[in-house]
Amino acid sequence: MSLTPEQEAEIAALRAEPRPTLRAVSPGMEAHLFLARPVLDHGFVRVIDYMGDDAAICQAARVSYGRGTKAVSNDEGLIRYLMRHWHSTPFEMCELKLHVKLPVFVARQWIRHRTANVNEYSARYSILDREFYIPEQEMLAAQSVVNNQGRGEALSGEEAARVLDWLKSDAARAYDHYEAMISQEGQQGLARELARMNLPANIYTQWYWKVDLHNLFHFLRLRADAHAQYEIRVYAEAICAMVRDWVPAAYGAFEDYRLGGAVLSAKGVECVRRMLKGEKVTQETSGMSKGEWREFLGVVEP
């Protein structure tokens, strides 16, 4: 991870001047404020600001006390009820603002979650740093033969070394040309907004990303999943660690019902009932496609 001296000085100054407040604060999240958590080779995630805590979720839910929540006698139980029954608006009362440094190709995956506010570093006005994501050799893998969006067996030996050499040399050459285009001696040079198009997708960018807790949980459910691409999953895992400290009751319910839970179709539920009665159910008798059946077995079989 590489922070600029200016960023390090800013973090030190902000953490050196705590301020009294009447706002609700989360001690767990206060410990994360401003600090950069390293991700990948040059990336990081850090908390810039947050609003709300577990109590804010319960406060919002109890504004209109419905029949379903009256029997819930404590905050943790209420939060688990809300998560279990797919309530959303109480979780939207909490918000998180992050500063993220990440490779461009990861950012393009991330930005598909269109429920956040984003402000990205602009290569039209500023010059990007010479920093590229270069995977560790063990993370280089062939294309999966069963999943068009996944990885197969890891590359090794000369093949892995050749790929790493290409990644490093191509990135360096592209940046050399980028630098030359925008700063030609004695000439005006190419506009930055045009020169940037020559840069590879593994160069690092930065942004501020602000999202409410409901939509953050949706992001984490998809991107912290074991099937998510490694390079975005490690960012999601870093955020999970922060959210766990920020709203422990809500994160516990999320971990139980979303990350560790499963959703079955009506056919899946019917198959489980038949199995509990002792009936042998196969893909052919389940009414499911081969893909559905494979996923179903992944849930119900140890």
Does 274 appear as a known binding residue?
Answer: no
* 3-state secondary structure at position 165: helix
Name the catalytic one among 46, 80, 223, 258. Answer: 223
Does 33 appear as a known binding residue?
Answer: no
Residue 126 burial class via C-beta count within 10 angstroms: exposed 0-12, middle 13-18, buried 19 and up? exposed
User: Is 192 one of the catalytic residues?
Assistant: no
H/E stretch holding 81 reads helix 75-84
Does 192 appear as a known binding residue?
Answer: no
Does 120 appear as a known binding residue?
Answer: yes
Does 113 appear as a known binding residue?
Answer: yes
Does 214 appear as a known binding residue?
Answer: yes
Three-class secondary structure assignment of 15-78? HHCCCCCCCCCCHHHHCCECCEEEECCCEEEEEEEEECCHHHHHHHHCCCCCHHHHCCCCHHHH
* 3-state secondary structure at position 194: helix
Does 212 appear as a known binding residue?
Answer: yes
Residues 6+ apart with CB under 8 A from 286: 267, 271, 292, 293, 296
Does 123 appear as a known binding residue?
Answer: yes
Does 213 appear as a known binding residue?
Answer: yes
d(CA 117, CA 270): 42
Q: Are 42 and 101 in contact (CB under 8 A)?
A: yes
Does 69 appear as a known binding residue?
Answer: no
Q: Which residues are annotated as a binding site for dUMP?
A: 109-112, 120-124, 196, 223
Q: Which residues are annotated as a binding site for FAD?
A: 89, 112-114, 120, 212-214, 218
Catalytic residue annotation: 223
Q: Which residues are annotated as a binding site?
A: 89, 109-114, 120-124, 196, 212-214, 218, 223
